[in-house]
Amino acid sequence: MRTIRQLGTAVALAVAVACAGTGCTVIQVSGPYTMNEASGGDPLSKPFQRLIATPPQPDWSPEQTLRGLQAAMAAFADDPTVLPQYLTADALKSWTPSGAVTVLDDLMQFDPPEPGGDEPVQRVTLKGRQVASIEEDDTYVPQAGNWARPFDLVKAREGGYRVNKLPDGLILTRSDVDRAYRPTKLYYLNGSTQDRIVVDNVRLRLKPEETYAKVILERLLKDPSGVLRGAATTAFPAGTKVQSVTSAEDERVVVNLSGPLDLLDLSGEDALMAQIRYSLNNNDVAKGRGISVLLDGEPYTSYEPNTDDLRWLDNGGNNAYYVSKGAVHSMSKEGPGSAVAGPAGQQRQGYSHFAISKQGGFVAAMTSTGISVAPLTQEGQWQEVIQGTDLTPPSWHRDGSLWTFDQKNRVVLRYDHAGKRGPEVVSAPGLEKLDVTRLRIARDGVRVAVTTGKNLAQTVQIGALTVTGGLALGNVRPLMGTEAGDEILDIAWRDDEHLLVLVQSKAQQILNEIDVGDGEVVEIPLKDRLEALAALNERVLAAADAEKAGSKILELNQDQSWTPKIDSDVEIPLFPLG
């Protein structure tokens, strides 16, 4: 069975509340407002319902006033004139919409004021379950926990109530976000090699006066979100502006830019076009259509949809491998294949946790004294490149460097295999106090997944390789945690956005596919007990637990069933990088 759920952060950020007796009113917060359709007929946009909020009314109770205030918050981006009408002069002076947007479940509760009714100040508490926040950099961060906030209201001379003090920021419901925001994929350049694009998942608010295509490109001109800050860069020079995004008669998308780009200098036009076309195509705005980019109305560059150009999504090779009796083999479509060339293809004891470099040029493996590397050539030899007895399994970067975490000294190590230099210590301030057990670099060369914990609750953390101010592993944040006693058996990058996590709980094994952008979790059904994973886009391979299920390699099918590919004398599957 395939189940989907939303992953909360490791720490609940809200205060627990309870509703007891008759002093708590439950209402569906969805108004007062009216709707009208916006951007419904433009092929470069997405239709959505524009919310039109109602000003406070003289006969409204404190609860109805707060209900109207929340609706005015939901409409604030389209019409900022209604919300101030709910505030006293003092509240209006101190309040700002800036800051993270709080996203609550649709079902909210109001604790009404105590009976009496003539007090100058009426305190009403709004309660609900927080499901997410939308940060100022447009990052959608799932949350889990109860939320409560008191509001003080005073009677207005013209009748009704006004809010006397309002904490900064906006409060939206899940329905508000679903109606007015769209999950959006923005594409930037890998900061270190700049030979590949990197996806940045954000939530963008639709604008009635602009097409979704223009909203996307205007956001693309800004810095990436915090999770990629310092790790991704752009081909757009500072000062570039989007003048217009239109459809031509031949259905081509025409993007007109202005700014410091030079019609006589096309050195960065391939990367710039890659950012534009993937950001438009992968949000289903310009899919299958040609794109022309103009600079102040003059032709600058173009893209044809039949162009077979996938270099900006290069994954470093798609050949599958497996290990049998200590020797690395290539994997055929049917399953078993031949041993690779050189020493890595020879049966040998004492080598484990193999990793394949970009395009299958080198193999790394752990030994009792460190990490060794061998080229896949007949004349190659194993060479120890990182010494240590407390290292995590090796992980290749797309630039040819080899990475591990020294558990004894709690530092990240990088060996520059191309330059034969190192290992060097890489700054990783977010990992200094963590008990790191695995480190896996994604094929985009930017995102990094690490597992932590050995005896107590274990976690998966996500970071990024930043290059601003020197190479570092930064932007570390928790992705998921386990219950005490559960064990993370393996992790594998499936693609730039999804991480596979295999967990052994007290009762069963669980294989989850986690979207590292919004935390959505898809549980993949298991039949056999597994012990190792390898993945690349649509292909997922797993090694069965030899003691429980027999020595075999399984492949995941589209219907979520598993097919045996190799049924004896196998240890682990492998793909390059990841």
Is pLDDT above 60 for 270? Answer: yes
Higher confidence at residue 19 or residue 424?
A: 424
Q: Are 242 and 255 in contact (CB under 8 A)?
A: yes
Mean per-residue pLDDT, 319-329: 96
Say how many Å lie between the first and final Cα of the chain, rounded. Answer: 27
Task: Check: CB of residue 316 under 8 Å from CB of residue 547.
Answer: no
Q: 55: burial class by Cβ within 10 Å (0-12, 13-18, 19+)? A: middle
Judging by DSSP bridges, how do beta strands 383-387 and 370-375 pair with one another?
antiparallel
Predicted pLDDT of residue 17: 30
In sequence order, the 6+-apart residues with CB closer than 8 A to the CB of 134 are 100, 101, 103, 140, 141, 172, 177, 181, 203
Q: Which range, of 103-107, 270-274, 308-312, averages the lowest pLDDT?
A: 308-312
Among 239, 233, 199, which Cα is nearest to 216's?
A: 199
**Cα–Cα distance measured from residue 235 to residue 242, given in angstroms and rounded to the nearest whole number:** 14
Q: 299-311: string of b/e by CB count within 10 Å (b at 16+)?
A: ebbbbeeeeeeee
Amino acid found at 184: T
pLDDT at position 307 is 72
- pLDDT for 484 equals 87
pLDDT at 348 over 50: yes
109 and 25 Cβ atoms separated by less than 8 Å: yes
Residue 12 has pLDDT above 50, yes or no: no
CA angle 4, 8, 13 (to 5 degrees): 160
Furthest-apart CA pair in the chain: how many Å? 92
**pLDDT-based confidence at residue 495 (cuts at 50, 70, 90):** very high
How much is the average pLDDT of 13-20?
30
Residues in CB range of 132: below 8 A, 6 or more apart:
103, 140, 141, 142, 143, 174, 177
Query: According to the model, what pLDDT value does residue 250 have?
Result: 86
Task: Pick 115 or 490 by higher pLDDT.
Answer: 490
Please write the tens of the pLDDT for every residue from 416-464. Answer: 988 888 899 999 999 988 999 999 999 999 999 999 997 678 999 999 9
pLDDT band at 34 (very low <50, low <70, confident <90, very high): low
CA dist 5 → 10, 95, 267, 294 (Å): 15, 35, 44, 43
- Assign 191 a pLDDT band (cuts: 50, 70, 90): very high
**Which residue from 138, 145, 140 is spatially nearest to 11, judged by alpha carbons?**
145
Give SS3 for 10.
Answer: coil
What is the average pLDDT across 197-207? 95
Q: How confident is the model at residue 118 (pLDDT cuts 50, 70, 90)?
A: low
Judge if pTM exceeds 0.85.
yes
Q: Which residues pair with 294 in a beta bridge?
A: 256, 299
Q: What is the mean pLDDT of residues 322-342?
A: 95
- What pLDDT is recorded for position 110? 86
Is the Cα dihedral 370, 373, 378, 379 positive or negative?
negative
Question: Is 90 exceeded by the pLDDT of residue 116?
Answer: no
Per-residue confidence band for 1, with pLDDT thresholds at 50, 70 and 90 = very low
Distance of CA 144 to the CA centre of its chain: 17
**Which candidate, 128, 134, 136, 84, places its Cα nearest to that of 110?**
128
pLDDT value at residue 9? 36
d(CA 294, CA 105): 44
Average of pLDDT values for 488-503? 97
Decide: 146 and 14 in contact? Cβ < 8 Å: yes
Parallel/antiparallel/unpaired status of strands 520-524 and 362-366: unpaired
Q: How far apart are CA 163 and CA 74, in angstroms?
A: 17
Q: What are phi and psi of 517, to 5 degrees?
A: -85, -50
537 touches 315 (CB < 8 A): yes
Distance separating alpha carbons of residues 528 and 513, to the nearest angstrom: 17
How high is the pLDDT of residue 550? 77
pLDDT score at 14: 26
Confidence of residue 19 (pLDDT cuts 50, 70, 90): very low
Element (H, E) at 247: strand 241-247
> By percentage, how much of the chain surpasses pLDDT 90?
76
Residue whose tokens read 């952008």: 517
* pLDDT digits 0-9 by tens, 513-564: 999 988 889 999 999 999 999 999 999 999 998 887 778 999 999 999 999 9
Q: Note the pLDDT of residue 288.
A: 85
For residue 507, what pLDDT is reported? 87
Kindly indicate the confidence band of residue 25, based on its pLDDT and cuts at 50, 70 and 90: very low
What's the mean pLDDT in 276-302? 94
